[in-house]
Structure 1
Amino acid sequence: MLSAKSLFQEILDNDESFALFCSIAASGESQGGWENARIAALVPEAERDLAPKISRHGADEDKHGRIFSALMKKRGLDPVPVPPETDYTMLLEKNGIGLAHEQLNRDERLTVQDIVTYLSHSRVTEQRASEQMDLLRKHFADHPDIGRAVKQISNDEDNHLAYCHEELLRFAYAGHGRVIQRTLRECALAEIRIYRDVSLAVMAHMGRVLGWSKAKSAVLAAGIHAVYAYERMGGWRRMVSLTTPERRNALGGPATPEPEFA
């Protein structure tokens, strides 16, 4: 039976597909780490108290990149080139979601509106990351090779999502509510389209590596399109709601160290 667990197990069991999966994940996490580090360095003076949390967010993303690299190294695998059509983070940036790299490369202070844009973008993408890692945690938390990594990253992503909720609510109470809701909606509708396209591209590459039949590939593609249809019809709204998180001040301390992979 075709399921999320059996699909990922198939990717996990093959060195070439596992290297591709980890390389894509490591690249995205590393890009996220760089973006957060630059944002932390350019935070406007009025929001300097937020800089340590943004830095912590970036440190977590860098840590995740190292974890995925370590998982490859543990199996004696080298990173592989990331196909551009599978690069979720770069495609978001190219489609105007979040803060442009050109802006972050300049040594100019960001505005409060820029910080609201960054947090809104993060609110949407961290929802996706939290859900994906929760799915992996459900099926692979006890896996001898990747279980510790999955649990660590999943916990971090939940912290990131809680942080976005808390900070966006703070800005909403300060009078930015309408801008936040408009930005969240724009980000969510763009993200679900890019996620669909990236998912189709990743599955196409995995299918070639693993020798999937046309029928199996067609079923998986249909499933991806069905998810997009659900999200376009209203599922995207889960990405734009704001509620007080159970985890308060989730990024208020230093990053937790990554597990060791001997």
Structure 2
Amino acid sequence: MLSAKRLFREILDHDESFRLFCSIAAGGEAQGGWENGRIAALVPPSQRALAPKIARHGADEDKHGRIFTALLRRRGLTPAPVPPGTDYTMLLERRGIGLSHARLRRDEPLTERDIVVYLAHSRVTEQRAAEQMALLLKHFADHPEIGRAVRMIADDEDDHLAYTHEELLRLAAAGHGRFIQRTLRDCALAEIRVHRDVSLAVMARMSRVLGWSRTRSALLTAGIRAAYCYERLVGWHRMVTLGMPARRDPLGGPVTPAPEFV
């Protein structure tokens, strides 16, 4: 029987597949940390109160990258090169989702619309991250090797998702409602395509590393494509709705040094 728990346990138990998984995750988190750091530095004067929260978001992403690197180090492994087809953040940027790296490298203040684009992009991608971590939390919260990392990252992702809801609702009330909904829809539809492509690329790599049969690989491919069809039809709506979160002001307060994972 194919199950998420069984598949991930296979990846976890094999050094090379675990190395690839952690390397992909660490690279994406480090990229997110850089992006948030640049956005925090370029926040327009009208949104200056948001800068510490964006910086906190970036600090969390940096922390997650260090956690995945530490998991590799514990097993005596070094990071692997990230195959281009598995680079989620790069593929999203190529589709024009979020703020481009070229824009973030310029020392010019962002606009309020840029902040909406950033938050909408984060709302969609943090939905995905929170759901993936919830799945790992369900099956591996008490795992002796990765349990603590899963619990820490899952809690942060829930904070990040709550923060994007809260800030987008604030900006909607300030008159950006239509632009927010349009941007969320564009981000969601692009993200589900990128997620499908990255999932297929990762699955193909894992299949070769773990020696999965053609039948098993075909079943997994069919499952990924079926999930995409569902998301393309109706599933994307969960990524564009906004509601006041139970966690209020989850990234408020000053940025503090992120605790190291040991």
TM-score by length of 1: 0.98
Amino acid of the structure 1 residue aligned with 2:163: Y
> Are residue 156 (structure 1) and residue 156 (structure 2) matched?
yes
Q: Deviations over 1:118-143 (max 9, x none)?
A: 00000000000000000000000000
CA contact 2:130–2:158 (8 Å) conserved in 1: yes
CA separation in 2, counterparts of 1:31 and 1:144? 28
Partner residue of 2:35?
35
Paired residues of 2:59 and 2:258 also in contact (CA < 8 A): no
1:45 positional shift: 0.5
Q: Deviations over 1:35-68 (max 9, x none)?
A: 0000000000111100000000000000000000
Residue number in structure 1 paired with 2:176: 176
**Conservation of the 8 A alpha-carbon contact between 2:192 and 2:228:** yes
Q: Which residue of 2 aligns with 1:200?
A: 200
Q: CA deviation at 1:94?
A: 1.1
Q: Which residue of the partner structure matches residue 125 of structure 1? A: 125
Runs of 5+ consecutive residues of structure 2 not aligned to the other structure: none
**Deviations, residues 45-104 of structure 1 (Å, cap 9, x unaligned):** 111100000000000000000000000000000000000000001110111000000000
**Contact 2:42/2:107 (<8 A) preserved:** yes
Partner of 1:142, secondary structure, is coil
CA shift, 1:258, in A, is 3.9
The answer to whether the 8 A contact 1:60-1:255 is kept is: no
Say whether residues 1:91 and 2:82 are aligned partners. no
1:114 counterpart residue number? 114
My pick for the range that moved more, 250-259 or 163-172, is 250-259
For 2:104 and 2:260, the matched residues in 1 are separated by: 31
Q: Distance between the aligned counterparts of 1:260 and 1:232, measured in 2?
A: 37
Distance 1:98 1:229 in 2: 23
Contact 1:40 1:55 in 2 (8 A): yes
Match of residue 245 from structure 2: 245
State the secondary structure of the residue aligned to 2:76: coil
Q: Deviations for 1:162-205, whole angstroms, at most 9, x for unmatched residues?
A: 00000000000001000000000000000000000000000000
Spell out the pairing of 1:1-262 with structure 2 (5 A cutoff).
1-253=1-253, 254=255, 257-258=258-259, 260-261=261-262
RMSD of Structure 2 on Structure 1 (CA): 0.9
- CA pair 145-256 structure 1, distance change in 2 beyond 3 A: farther
Letter of the 2:106 counterpart: R
CA distance in 1, matches of 2:260, 2:54: 22
Q: What SS does the aligned partner of 2:38 have? A: helix
In structure 1, the residue corresponding to 2:79 is in which secondary structure? Answer: coil
Residues 159, 251 of structure 1: 8 Å contact kept = yes
Contact 1:23-1:80 within 8 A present in 2 as well: yes
Residue 260 of structure 1 and its aligned partner are, at CA, apart by 3.3
Q: Count residues in correspondence.
A: 261
For residues 208 and 131 of structure 2, what CA distance do their matches in structure 1 show?
26
User: 1:169 corresponds to which letter in structure 2?
Assistant: L
Instruction: Give 3-state SS (helix, strand or coil) of 1:96's partner.
Output: coil
Distance 1:258 1:214 in 2: 43
Look up the SS of the partner of 2:107 in the other structure: coil
